[in-house]
Amino acid sequence: MPYRILHVSDLHVGPPFCKPIAEALVRQAHALRPDLLVISGDFVQRADFPSQWEAARTLRAALPSPQLVVPGNHDVPLFNLYLRLFAPLALYRQMISRDLNPVFTLPGLVVVGAVTAHGLTLDGGKVSQAQAAALRTILGRYGPDTCKIVVWHHPVMNPPGPYRDRVIEAAPAAIRLLDACNVELLLCGHLHVTFIGNTRNVVHDLHQGTIICQSGTTTSRRGHGPEQGKHSCNLIEVDAQAIKISSLLYQAASDRFESTAEYVFPRRTGEF
């Protein structure tokens, strides 16, 4: 420690993709020299098209490593019903990462990703019973001084605005799971708008709650609400005292993602 995590999301390689923004991201990401790059899903716009996967794989390779990546709902084919029903993440596994539930560790830090996009739902996501059990097992191996971070594509709570029903299935249970596992920070995407919050605002009987760090779309034209036509990502710094989140918004004048808001949360002092 301290560690630096760059969190990008919703690349949407395909028609809404903005190549110049992606080039700026690659330049800046290397300059930042993050200890970890997180990509929280929606690599492609339409998972049926091999050319989009090729371009997404090229972009991923151009970004710095190490990386922890999870798929989003757009990474599941829409038109190919066979793949959608029987092998929804086969293309993602072939082109992006075979590991659907990745784990990354450094001394004092554990980051656990999980696929929340499954074949049958078009937009929603879920954490299965097996994934919940795995999360408890993995995080149970780490003591109170280790910063525990989870990465899901789908959010567990809505930011202000017209985002009803776009959170993960059984969101209160997912929030309680994060709380029970002493997860300090959830990195997510999907809604194409930046949001920093805390699960204590929506579920009131939690021990300490979990900080929400949601990225907008980093490289596509699909930004929503206040981020319509904008591109965003987050820079997270973790040390023994605090978690600092800088919300970065792309600025054409500097051709860079610039910090527009900064949040500091004290690290937890122990298990409940």
> Which spans of this chain sit near Fe ion (rule: CB under 5 A)?
10, 42, 72-73, 190
Asked if residue 174 lies in contact with residue 127, where contact means CB atoms within 8 angstroms, the answer is: yes
Cβ nearer to Fe ion, comparing 122 with 130:
122
How many angstroms separate the Cα of 180 from the Cα of each of 133, 175, 250?
12, 9, 36
Shortest distance, position 2 Cβ to Fe ion, whole Å: 30
DSSP label of 69: E
Helix, strand, coil shares, percent, the chain, to 5? 25, 25, 50
Shortest distance, position 130 Cβ to Fe ion, whole Å: 22
Cα end-to-end distance, the chain, whole Å:
23
Cβ nearer to Fe ion, comparing 221 with 244:
221
**195-198/211-214 β-pairing:** antiparallel
3-class SS of residue 161: coil
Cβ nearer to Fe ion, comparing 72 with 223:
72
DSSP notation for 95-139: HT-S-SS-EEEETTEEEEE-----SS-SS-----HHHHHHHHHHH
Cβ nearer to Fe ion, comparing 41 with 197:
41
How many angstroms separate the Cα of 135 from the Cα of each of 12, 23, 108?
28, 35, 17
Asked if residue 156 lies in contact with residue 125, where contact means CB atoms within 8 angstroms, the answer is: no
CA pair distance 182, 202, nearest whole angstrom:
17
Strand partners, 20: none
Count of CA atoms in the C-beta half-sphere (13 A) of 218: 35
Cβ nearer to Fe ion, comparing 8 with 112:
8
Cβ nearer to Fe ion, comparing 10 with 35:
10
Shortest distance, position 144 Cβ to Fe ion, whole Å: 33
Shortest distance, position 72 Cβ to Fe ion, whole Å: 4
Shortest distance, position 222 Cβ to Fe ion, whole Å: 6
Cβ nearer to Fe ion, comparing 182 with 220:
220
| Number of neighbours of residue 39 by Cβ within 10 angstroms | 32
Asked if residue 72 lies in contact with residue 218, where contact means CB atoms within 8 angstroms, the answer is: no
Cβ nearer to Fe ion, comparing 10 with 237:
10
